[in-house]
Structure 1
Amino acid sequence: MLANSSILITGGTGSFGHKFVPMTLAKYNPRRLVIYSRDEMKQWEMAKLFSGDSRVRFFIGDVRDKDRLSRALDGIDYVVHAAATKIVPTAEYNPFECIKTNVIGAMNLIDACIDCGVKRVVALSTDKASSPANLYGATKLASDKLFVAGNSYSGAHGARFGVVRYGNVMGSRGSVIPFFLSIADKGVLPITDNRMTRFMITLEQGVELVWHAFEDMVGGEIYVKKIPSMSMTDLATAVVPGAKQEVVGIRPGEKLHEQMIGVEDAPYTYEYPEHFKILPAIHNWSNDPYRIKDGNKVAEDFTYSSDNNPAWMSIESLQDWIARNHEIVGKI
């Protein structure tokens, strides 16, 4: 599907974009892959990595600017929406700015994609969008709802919108693994709560989930990757063995355990070998056999959270991953 196509990724200079771009170039050989973002220095640095590759283009712009989006989307077939204000404390202290990017930006992109004849759009979501406890999660839940409803608005234009949802990306910029590594020499790691758990996913798995969504989606589906959980104490032990762990308390907006599927979504959720799929509650789309395909409906009281997850990552597994990715952890 993506072969010889034109693809645009918003927020493309972030951690996800740095992995999505080379993987997609290698697998699908698109005609054009456009990185759309607002930071000229990040674009300048990223452009060096793809110097001489005429398929990779860079476009300065903000998702808050609908006119600029429309210009960038001219001739684009597929869009990955990765742009977001995503640091929880930043969103809590700058709520107006978070809403402008995560909610108004989503609205702008949906409208522009419909008007420009884009075929399919996959938006990146987060575990924090399920039963949100902070503003970032609340804005991403609103964004998810917008992308689902965008399939109603597209009408004869034919644009289709889907969402992928996953948890903590191992080693991404701003995540806890590079943070712990950066303070390893102090011998003390701050732990918010000894009971805390988180979902764990690699960037490669995130990219593959986006590819699957493009291939599988009819419109309005939320894809949830099956991934392991890990306790924060085990994570800290894996990253800096022998370091003292100091409990510092939960920050505003943090949860003890993250959730990707709440009980309210269970009536619309189907299970597959490697993922779950939350189907739209609107228009009776959750009963559409073209969206369900070969899925099995989950139990009425089903939830998918980091503390009730049947799959867990061991300390040894994370240490092995860090050893294999040490050179790039936290650099993108």
Structure 2
Amino acid sequence: MLNGKTILITGGTGSFGHKCTETILSRYQPRKLIIFSRDEFKQYEMSQKFPTGPSSPMRYFIGDVRDKERLQRAFQSVDYVIHAAALKQVPAAEYNPTEFIKTNIHGAQNVVNVAADRGVKKVVALSTDKAANPINLYGATKLCSDKLFVAANAFVGLDEARFSVVRYGNVLGSRGSVVPLFLKQKATGAVSVTDPRMTRFWITLEQGVDFVLKCLEHMRGGEIFVPKLPSMNIMDLAAALCPECEVKIIGIRPGEKIHEVMVPLADARRTIEFKRNYVILPDDADILTRFEDSPGQPVSEDFEYSSGDNPWQLSVDELKGLLGMA
């Protein structure tokens, strides 16, 4: 699919960008693989692992998704865009809302408009479970971003660029996740848990990259892809990572939920199910015609995909296996 193509990853120096770059280079022969991000030092570090050169497809482009003019330059002759750039920390969003709006909403708007202007064929945007029934500013900005990418299919026309969204849960071991925090706290003999009832969906970085690339291949435009994932209680996570540690309950943080949702009840009427994932279809009647021959099966009207009552629960041993600790 990606052989001979030019792919650009926004926010490409993050955990996802590193793993996605590694995966693409191992499976395909792209014409160019462009890393677009705003941190020159992270680009320098990444270029040590994935160097540029006459025989390399790697390119590094310093820029910010807030800067539409810079995106215009970066998106020239690009076939596919994976939009991973975002501000993500929930507590930081509560105290710096305008910064999150500028990156997560205005940045998404810029990506949509420039991709349409530059003739990009496909754009897949990374979302989060926090965008479903959001109660925090971060989730609200990502819901708005999701809406922008879905709606973009209507304004560009049926034969132009296609825009889709991939929504998944917490990434095991990614920067800023609770896993490296617990491992860091392990040395102190105590780990901090916000609420013992808390559950989350979990996905490995490798699984996330594989799912995004599969969605990029099969997307029709306008849909939100949701993988079927296991859930785990935060206390089981602490037991798996730090079995000898004391657990300190510190109280829920601003903007946090006890359980996360990836397919809200209100979206059940537009959701179809496949063996390994769900797809939330668009409301627009014209765009919906793209899915008339889809083999997916409608879910029940009372369906909601929540980490709290998810039948697929990770055991302690299964989590250790995913983290290579078995």
TM bucket normalised to smaller: over 0.9
Could you tell me which amino acid in structure 1 is paired with residue 324 of structure 2? A
2:324 is matched with 323
Query: Aligned residue pairs: how many?
Result: 324
Pairwise mapping of residues 285-304 of structure 1 onto structure 2 (< 5 A)? 285-286=287-288, 288=289, 290=291, 293-304=294-305
Output one character per residue of 1:32-63: Cα deviation in whole Å (capped at 9) or x when no partner.
Answer: 00000000111010110012562111000000
Deviation (angstroms), 1:155: 2.1
1:329 is matched with none
SS state of the match for residue 66, structure 2?
A: coil
Could you tell me which amino acid in structure 2 is paired with residue 305 of structure 1? S
Structure 1 ranges of 4+ moved more than 4 A: none
Could you tell me which amino acid in structure 2 is paired with residue 282 of structure 1? D
- Measured in 1, the distance between the counterparts of 2:292 and 2:84 equals 24
Pairwise mapping of residues 26-65 of structure 1 onto structure 2 (< 5 A)? 26-51=26-51, 54-65=56-67
SS state of the match for residue 183, structure 1?
A: helix
- Measured in 2, the distance between the counterparts of 1:47 and 1:191 equals 37
- Measured in 2, the distance between the counterparts of 1:192 and 1:50 equals 38
Deviation (angstroms), 1:282: 2.0
Structure 2 residue 182 is the aligned partner of structure 1 residue 196: no
Output one character per residue of 1:235-278: Cα deviation in whole Å (capped at 9) or x when no partner.
Answer: 00101112111111100100000000001100000000000000
Deviation (angstroms), 1:290: 3.0
Given candidates 258, 261, 267, the residue that maps to 2:263 is 261
SS state of the match for residue 323, structure 2?
A: helix
TM-score (norm 1): 0.95
SS state of the match for residue 152, structure 1?
A: helix
- Measured in 1, the distance between the counterparts of 2:70 and 2:223 equals 27
1:274 is matched with 276
Structure 2 residue 131 is the aligned partner of structure 1 residue 129: yes
Could you tell me which amino acid in structure 1 is paired with residue 91 of structure 2? P
Deviation (angstroms), 1:157: 6.6
Pairwise mapping of residues 86-101 of structure 1 onto structure 2 (< 5 A)? 86-101=88-103
Unmatched runs of 5 consecutive residues or more in structure 2: none
Deviation (angstroms), 1:141: 0.2
Could you tell me which amino acid in structure 1 is paired with residue 70 of structure 2? R
Percentage of identical aligned residues? 55
Query: Are the equivalent residues in 2 in contact too, given 1:6–1:33 (CA < 8 A)?
Result: yes
TM-score (norm 2): 0.96
Deviation (angstroms), 1:185: 1.3
2:306 is matched with 305
Could you tell me which amino acid in structure 1 is paired with residue 302 of structure 2? D
- Measured in 1, the distance between the counterparts of 2:163 and 2:3 equals 19
Unmatched runs of 5 consecutive residues or more in structure 1: 326-332
Pairwise mapping of residues 1-332 of structure 1 onto structure 2 (< 5 A)? 1-51=1-51, 54-155=56-157, 158-283=160-285, 285-286=287-288, 288=289, 290=291, 293-323=294-324
- Measured in 2, the distance between the counterparts of 1:188 and 1:324 equals 20
Query: Are the equivalent residues in 1 in contact too, given 2:166–2:225 (CA < 8 A)?
Result: yes
